[in-house]
A = this chain, B = another copy of it.
Amino acid sequence: MRIGIIGSGFVAQTLGGKLLELGHDVTISSRDTGRRAKTGWGTELPSPEDWAREHAQRGRGAGCGSFADAATFGEVLIIATAGAHSLEALASVDASALTGKTVVDLSNPLQRSGTVTTLSVVNTTSVAEEIQAAYPEARVVKTLNTVNVAVMIDPASLGAETDMFVSGNDPAARQWVSETLLKDWLGWTSVLDLGDITAARAQEMYLPLWLRLLGALGSANINVKVVKAA
């Protein structure tokens, strides 16, 4: 399948690499494909061009380009930008490139000010709802934003089954994301369907707790299992 990723950071490169390994064609995207970016913890990443070249040398269908290039390329799109910039990145993409496509939004609207992290949109809306409102013909699905990329692509690494959440207005798109992307491709064994895209605000508002758990447990390789009384 052809997958266009909006973004070229650590999540885009790592998830993109996993999807390439699975045999898909992946184009990541940025404003400047020659520029090396840094992760939140200061590690320098390959530039998108270097990332694509290194994967292509191993015989994989890797590419990079503008946000518009990735959107046009993908049969499915993945939003892997920082959430505060997701709409800004999409603004350079013609809406027709998203029409009818499943748009999987992984992004979180985290904004840091000193040591304090808040959400740039919250409570009455969410990044995913704003994307859906701006592109009504896209089939936006929110998922994977509640774990780091190591857990995203290898949920079994946690050593116990945990849950992934999915929301979106289009039941068929939610189903494809749940059964194909999450279960078949990435190895998730338990996916909870939270319903329409307004659930995305609940998924994004979990992030402050995720950040405190990271602090308390000293690891970002964490996730939750929902337990229900019999």
A residues sitting closer than 8 Å to B (CB atoms) are 116, 118-119, 122-124, 151, 157-160, 162, 165, 167, 192-195, 198-199, 201-203, 205-206, 208-209, 211-213, 215-217, 219, 221-230
Q: Which residue of B lies closest to A113 (CB)?
A: B124
B158, B205, B212: which contacts A195 (Cβ < 8 A)? B212
Q: Once the chains are docked, how many angstroms separate the CA of A69 from the CA of B201? A: 39
Decide if A227 touches B223 in the complex (CB within 8 Å): yes
Decide if the interface of chain A is mainly helix, strand, loop or mixed: mixed
Closest chain B residue to A224, Cβ basis? B224
Task: Give A206's nearest chain B residue, CB to CB.
Answer: B209
Q: How far is the CA of A40 from the CA of B137 in the complex (A)?
A: 38
Q: Which residue of B lies closest to A120 (CB)?
A: B123
On chain B, the residues within 8 Å of A159 by CB distance are 227, 229-230
Copies of this chain: 2
Q: Do the beta carbons of A228 and B221 come within 8 Å of each other? A: yes
Chain B CB count within 10 A is highest, among A119, A192, A217, A227, for A227
Q: Which chain B residues lie closer than 8 Å to A219 at the CB level?
A: 228-229
Chain B neighbourhood of A194, CB < 8 A: 212-213, 215-216
Query: Once bound together, how far apart are the Cα atoms of A78 and B9, in whole Å?
Result: 46
B residues in contact with A195, CB < 8 Å: 212, 215-216
A216 to B199, alpha carbons, bound, how many Å?
Answer: 11
Give every chain B residue within 8 A of A167 (Cβ-Cβ).
Answer: 212
Given known A118-B123, A159-B229, A159-B230, contact A202–B193 (CB-CB < 8 A): no
CA distance A194 to B217 in the complex (A): 9
CB-contact partner of A202 in B165, B198, B209, under 8 A? B209
Give bound CA distance, A162 to B162, whole Å: 12
Contact assessment for B213 and A209 in the assembled complex, using a CB-CB cutoff below 8 Å: no
